[in-house]
A and B are shown apart, each in its own frame.
Chain A
């Protein structure tokens, strides 16, 4: 039999239903994998074995009564940005190092409602700001993949949901929650050889998710297959009156949509995504993806998204501006770290200097500057106008196509010591992913191939607002054709 940690989420659900494995056995296998590998990978900030085993026992009782729900007994990792009642939630920051939320985020409460088992809280870039998971106050995460012939080089898992993606890739969890503000689900999924979807803005409630940039933040799942992502998103999504931007729309059966096929679909290929200097391997994989979809009956249409090159600078005004406002609440008074000072202002300043890391401080300063008197129109209003043009680009595209195919990232996972000294070079990681956040549209990354050193590469499917179903159908077709079966060097049961 397949090792319990090698099962897909759907496969594990079927095995539980047939009573071939118990939820306690399944959970214990994952806890043992975490114990063996987490000291090295650092994918979890907090592990909650007692809670996980208690939930698994309850799941076995429910299964015995024939009362299984969609996720009964399935062990998941929860990005440590989702508030979990009674379990420390840190956002990977010193400033929230001891914060224990008294309430549960809507997304995690829906996963619990559907019977999931929570293994613990996954590592991330501090406050979800980063593309390499090196800015966590709890230490960097190691990508379980290795370049062939360079087994000693530590690669980053991507970010900000690096712990979620690494945990799923290394088989420490069947799936994970994640969040995506500029690519933070899709880029780490691509770097770790797993699937991940950022749904439409408004699809998942943001209630109880620690805010980074509220008009861009969106929760979604990471898992090893497209179908597993669809199953998790079905539980995570849905209207929530506690989030004023939550969409009051029915949640379709995403898992059913995976097998729709792509026959007759029009797939857009944006010419502006053919960047100068795009590695040949990534260009070739993109061509391969086009050929797969064409062979399955889709029509390829070259499209233009003329404002693409302005997406990153737009993002790096809007996101820091919103972050500087959202992070104003961390002042050492009501929760979190406090550093005493001579007076109240000194207390605020010392608390925030001690509590925030360098990248968070940089973004707060940029955000404060672009929102300050005299610069607001030149930077912030200008960026929100360009954002409107980026949205228009997509609105025009949807008149011609049903989905868009693009690479997820401009490179495979890079070394922990590479690209770290230049913030702008690091920001370029998000070049293909950030447009979906600015436009509020869904984007799915699917592992589709490997580079010459054996590292995974992802293809990304973008879709219309609230049309995740087409995105899943195209993603599943890519997944089926790619037949991605390579395994990371570091994994459970290896």
Chain B
């Protein structure tokens, strides 16, 4: 599988990364280099192998359903690039 320019543009849009048209050929070559190298995995017979999920061997534990944190509105907002009162502010989304 090899990426064409249109696919690189689509993936960049999915990833919410602005990519200038001039950079697309370079990115396309780099990504195809990496994906071509990754392709060797297709040689491994994985029939019937259960894929790994997560980093630990143990099942995730359940916890009691109760509030353990909160009441820290100012801390949550402290790093906001823009705020309006107790809210994060962004450019107008809906006309």
Contacts and interface: CB of A to CB of B under 8 A. Distances in A.
B41 A317 contact: yes
Interface stretch (A69-77, A104-112, A333-341): A333-341
A344 B81 contact: no
B15 A324 contact: yes
B78 to A, nearest CB: 6
Interface in A327-380: 328, 331-338, 340-350, 352-353, 356, 361-362, 364-366, 368-369, 372, 375, 378-379
Given A349-B16, A364-B17, A335 B52 contact: no
Interface residues of A, number: 73
Contact of B56 (A202, A337, A365, A368): A202
B78 A352 contact: no
Contacts of A102: 72, 75-76, 78-79
Interface string B14-35: 1111110000000100110111
B91 A214 contact: no
Contacts of A381: 51
B68 to A, nearest CB: 8
Contact of A247 (B14, B15, B53, B58): B58
Interface size class of B (residues with CB under 8 A): 35 or more
B63 A241 contact: yes
A488 to B, nearest CB: 34
Interface stretch (A150-158, A295-303, A307-315, A407-415): A307-315
A384 B79 contact: no
> Taking chain B's interface residues, is the majority helix, strand, or loop, or is none over half, making it mixed?
loop
A471 B18 CA distance: 46
A382 B46 contact: yes
Contacts of A365: 8, 11-12, 15, 17, 27, 31
Contacts of B11: 365, 368-369, 372
Contact of B79 (A202, A310, A335, A342): A335
A421 to B, nearest CB: 10
B41 A382 contact: yes
Contact of A310 (B35, B44, B58): B44
B24 to A, nearest CB: 11
B81 A336 contact: yes
Contacts of A307: 44
Interface in B41-84: 41-42, 44, 46, 49-58, 60-61, 63, 72, 75-76, 78-82
A346 B17 CA distance: 9
Given A333-B81, A341-B91, A365-B27, A248 B41 contact: no
Interface stretch (A48-56, A128-136, A185-193, A387-395): A387-395
A340 to B, nearest CB: 7
A444 interface: no
A368 B15 contact: yes
A350 B38 contact: no
B90 interface: yes
A125 B22 CA distance: 26
A415 to B, nearest CB: 22
Given A366-B31, A368-B14, 7 more contacts: A201-B56, A215-B54, A332-B81, A344-B90, A365-B8, A385-B52, A440-B57
The list of the 8 closest CB pairs from A to B, nearest first, reads A384-B51, A215-B55, A335-B79, A338-B81, A102-B75, A349-B18, A385-B46, A353-B18
